[in-house]
Homo-oligomer: A and B are copies of this chain.
């Protein structure tokens, strides 16, 4: 058993507008959030991604300082980095995409470095299911755990490939509306059943400020959303969640429902930092001690005594 975690995802520039302000071009992309979250639990996290010539040296330095392995990150000097800009509505639960420049993504042929082809766990961040499948195909041995994320765009336009991928993974992480969209079931309990029937033994349904649900057979675990005074920017919350979730598991011996429950809390705690500042700022600064304290806050938040007389 090794502690290697292979992560597929975008490294991007984002421009974000929320009711609290707007940013210029800032570091973003699901592999960035996942990597920053994962770096707290493993020093053997390899990213698979693609960059343009405009990607700034300081951002490369940041990722390297967090001990993320960038051998699988290609840089095309003549192209530009993937760019996304979006605007969150007043409730912060919904957003409108203002602009998407795929740029380098149109030429993305993922190559898994030799040293990560035996990674214990693989985390397939939100991307074209064709690319997610190409990464899996390069593994030399079956990972202990394959985790995937996806979103509405792939559900609507790439359903066949998405189903092919879902059949191969152990954990699917998806938000509540997307779970309903994928299964055509309103009840999340029924949606999770249908998703398990498609392949994954574990289903994580993210509910934004309302927390997350973990389903495994007839077992259900509910992680609360930590009530925060201020949420500045939800971007990257789901990626931070799944990054913390998977990286927590990669350093644990067993993989079972009990471990997954704690992993969901770790992921929720990560996400709760991410949303408190724009972009990756809060996640970059967060210390392991702060994370541990926040996990304790999650515990206090839900503990109660029963004494029915």
Residues of A within 8 A of B (CB): 19, 90-92, 186-190, 207, 210-211, 213, 220-225, 227-231, 251, 258, 261-262, 264-265, 288, 291-292, 295-296, 299, 301-309
A291 neighbours in B (Cβ, 8 Å): 308
Residues of the B chain whose Cβ atoms lie less than 8 Å from the Cβ of A251: 309
Partner among B19, B189, B306 whose Cβ is within 8 Å of the Cβ of A227: B189
The answer to whether B189 touches A228 (Cβ under 8 A) is yes
User: Do B229 and A301 touch across chains, with their CB atoms under 8 A apart?
Assistant: no
Query: With A and B bound together, what is the CA distance between A258 and B300 in angstroms?
Result: 11
The listed residue with most B CB atoms (<10 A of its CB), out of A291, A301, A304, is A304
Which residue of B92, B188, B224, B292 contacts A222 across the interface (Cβ within 8 Å)? B224
| Contact yes or no, A306 B295, CB < 8 A | yes
Inter-chain contacts of A307 with B (CB < 8 A): 262
Query: Using Cβ atoms and an 8 Å threshold, which residues of chain B touch A302?
Result: 221-224, 302-303
Chain B residues contacting A229 (CB-CB under 8 Å) are 187, 189-190
Query: Given A91-B186, A222-B224: A306 and B299 within 8 A (CB)?
Result: yes
Give Cα A308 to B19, complex, Å: 36
A227 pairs with B186, CB closer than 8 A = no
Contacts of A224 in B (CB 8 A): 211, 222, 224, 302
Q: Chain B residues near A220: list those with CB within 8 A.
A: 227, 301
Known: A229-B190, A306-B296. A221 touches B261 (CB 8 A): no
Q: Which residues of B contact A288 (CB under 8 A)?
A: 308
Contact check, A227 vs B222: say whether CB atoms are below 8 A apart: yes
| Residue among A227, A230, A261, A301 with the highest chain B CB neighbour number at 10 A | A227
Nearest chain B CB to A193 CB, angstrom units: 8
Q: Quote the shortest CB–CB distance from A37 to chain B (angstroms).
A: 14
Top 8 nearest A-B pairs (CB, nearest first) are A222-B224, A210-B210, A302-B302, A261-B304, A189-B229, A222-B301, A189-B227, A292-B308
A229→B192 CA distance, assembly (Å): 10
| Given A187-B228, A261-B304, A264-B304, 16 new contacts (CB under 8 A) | A91-B186, A92-B186, A187-B229, A188-B227, A210-B211, A211-B222, A211-B224, A220-B227, A220-B301, A221-B302, A222-B225, A224-B302, A251-B309, A258-B305, A262-B307, A265-B304
In the bound complex, what is the Cα–Cα distance between A307 and B258 (angstroms)? 11
